[in-house]
Amino acid sequence: MRRLQPALSAVILLVAVGCGDAGDDPAGSKGPEIIAAFYPLEFVATEIAGGKANVTNLSPPGVEPHDLELAPDQVRSLAQADLVLYIGEGFQPAVENVIGELSGTPVIDGLETQDELIEAGHSQEDEEGHEEGASDPHVWLDPTRVASLGRAIAAEMEQIDPNNADGYSDNADALADALAELDDEYSATLENCELNELVVSHEAFGYLTDRYGLEQVGVSGIDPESEPSPGRVAEVAEFAREHGVTTIFFEEQVAPDIAQVIAGEIGADVEVLDPLEFPPNGDAEYFDVMRTNLDSISVALGCE
């Protein structure tokens, strides 16, 4: 893991020294402070908090979470937080670097809340340089794993804020119930489909496809900004043609050029599939996007 620059380490040290001064925390009277590294963690934390804690998202709209760089005031907020939520395994290096320097601040790694990590990098390293076995951070695309994360957050909040412990526990139960309903919808909808192969521009959907018995075929690997080789593009196009794939999925935040090239070669459509790394547009939230994704997958795979 990379170490912080001296300037950032100094910020953390200064904050740590001053944390005992209530005047340094303007929101101190409003409840515990939860810092979430990016949207899915913010969503779950907000559901668990139920208004009894303040939740802040480190990644502003339009900023790719992978590329987030922290300003000194964000480093300060991490050092002053009552709980920090992040995804490890290099998903947000700048955040992990700061967390590695924190002392005494409770942190939850969304990957470590899972009973079993699924390696969703299905492609193999070959002469064309495609990724092998990259650890998929996108646990939030499996509703059952989101429920696990919610319970982990609630358990920590019960320790931090015991006066509201029952509320956090109840909120975790309510979230788990809503996620179980979503899981049932996915299972029922995807049970009988003409196709089984989900061709995507970015291998973000390994947890989702593993959960519902589908096969993910990605043009690029886990990193959405990695450039696939011409050979990989040709390989995926041939796979899609052989399996009768009718839709090539891409992400709204990533240029659809490669998906369009493959779709043009085989006469398929292109469609958006949202990996939910960014806050949804408008008033939409996690459940809305997940159901929109389900509708898109159902149509593409010819599900009954």
> Model confidence over 237-293: pLDDT tens digits?
999 999 999 999 998 777 788 999 999 999 999 999 999 999 998 899 999 999 999
The answer to whether residue 226 scores a pLDDT higher than 80 is no
CATH class of 191-301: alpha beta
Which pLDDT value is given to residue 175? 98
Radius of gyration of the chain (CA): 21
Which pLDDT value is given to residue 30? 77
DSSP character for 193? B
Contact between 259 and 250 under an 8 Å Cβ cutoff? The reply is yes
Q: Quick one: pLDDT band at residue 28, thresholds 50, 70, 90? A: very low
Q: Where are the domains of the chain?
A: 6-113+138-183, 191-301
For the ranges 22-31, 150-159, 171-180, 292-301, which has the lowest average pLDDT? 22-31
What is the spatial distance between Cα 276 and Cα 273, in angstroms, rounded to a whole number? 9
The answer to whether residue 297 scores a pLDDT higher than 80 is yes
Which pLDDT value is given to residue 220? 84
Which pLDDT value is given to residue 244? 97
- Per CATH, which fold does 6-113+138-183 belong to? Rossmann fold (3.40.50)
Q: Quick one: pLDDT band at residue 223, thresholds 50, 70, 90? A: low
Which pLDDT value is given to residue 115? 53
Q: Quick one: pLDDT band at residue 134, thresholds 50, 70, 90? A: low
Q: Which parts of the chain are beta strand (E)? A: 33-36, 54-57, 83-86, 107-109, 197-202, 215-220, 247-250, 269-272
Identical fold for domains 6-113+138-183 and 191-301, yes or no, is yes
What is the spatial distance between Cα 147 and Cα 288, in angstroms, rounded to a whole number? 17
The answer to whether residue 2 scores a pLDDT higher than 70 is no
Which pLDDT value is given to residue 164? 98
pTM: 0.84
pLDDT mean over 39-52: 97
